[in-house]
Amino acid sequence: MATTSRKPRRGSWVGATARLLVSLLVSALFAVPLYIALVNAFKTDEAILAEPVALPSPVTLDNIIRVVTGNGPDFWGPLLNSVVIIVPSLAGAVVLGSMVGYYLGRSSGLASRLLQGILLIGLMLPFQVLLLPLSVILKSVGLQGSYLGLILFNIAFYVPFAAFVYARFMKTVPMELEEASAIDGASHFRTFVQIVVPLLRPTTASVLIFVGVWIWNDFLNPLIILGPGAGSTITTGIFRSLGQFNTGFGTMFAFTLLAALPVLAFFFAMQDRFVAGLTSGATKG
């Protein structure tokens, strides 16, 4: 029996080509700033001013050495401050977000719907709107200009996002696992810690990457909440290193490149779990 080969439809071919072109265009828009920062970190200031998009020739490590050794702008202080802020912020967002997400994923009553509405309002409000009342509240309790104030703000601001991500994943976890644990006499908290939390590792990786990148790249909140006296994070450190008469372009590019390396390393270290977390709820309701 003869078989007939089916030719691809013209519409599907055009759609696939259009998606490819759009993807390449978007990738190029994101890649160009990274390329400029990368090549200029290894060039002299004169070469940067002459040809900012050209490849470094000759390659120089003076800018990197100047930043790392402290002969340029302060790099290690803001880096340490960012780590001190991001670690407890991520821990608080993950712990509280997973608990709230577990409740939302397993409850369907009025209290659950009301909590979802409150969290949605928190997601919809721009953080710029919250800065002024937040500063007043932090000042009234003595936390304005402190690391603790910024950490608490980060936790409160990113818990709604984490909660909805965990709640979506909880709908894919079979209830039979928790029912079996309850039959064995485990409490709700013990069931959550010993049964549910190990299943949340892919989703936790997604939350850690998203929230971690947002906090690491955050500029306005540390600038306002910490102020000039409490220290700089990695982003505000770049800003404060710039000046009207500062012409060390190579040093600034090197500072920017080094500031991006920790978050890139963090992403690649958790890449597999991140992809698993994004696709965990793709085929189940």
The pLDDT of residue 83 is 93
The pLDDT of residue 7 is 55
Nearest residue to 60 (alpha-carbon basis) of 261, 251, 264: 251
210: its two tokens: 């998203």
Distance of CA 210 to the CA centre of its chain: 3
Q: Which residue has the tokens 């402290």?
A: 70
Q: What is the pLDDT of residues 230-262, one digit of tens each?
A: 678 888 888 877 765 566 788 888 888 899 888
The pLDDT of residue 90 is 95
Q: Per-residue pLDDT averaged across 182-200, rounded?
A: 83
Q: Which residue has the tokens 């450190």?
A: 237
Question: Residue 273: is it exposed, middle or buried by C-beta count within 10 angstroms (0-12/13-18/19+)?
Answer: middle
Q: Identify the structural domains of the chain with CATH numbers, from first to last.
A: 12-60 (no CATH), 76-279 (1.10.3720.10)
Question: Residue 45: is it exposed, middle or buried by C-beta count within 10 angstroms (0-12/13-18/19+)?
Answer: middle
The residues near 242 (Cβ < 8 Å, ≥ 6 apart) are 252
Q: What is the pLDDT of residues 192-242, one digit of tens each?
A: 888 888 888 888 988 998 999 999 999 888 988 888 766 788 888 888 777
DSSP string for residues in 118-168: HHHHHHHS-HHHHHHHHHHHHHHTT-TTSHHHHHHHHHHHHHHHHHHHHHH
Least confident of 6-10, 33-37, 82-86, 123-127: 6-10
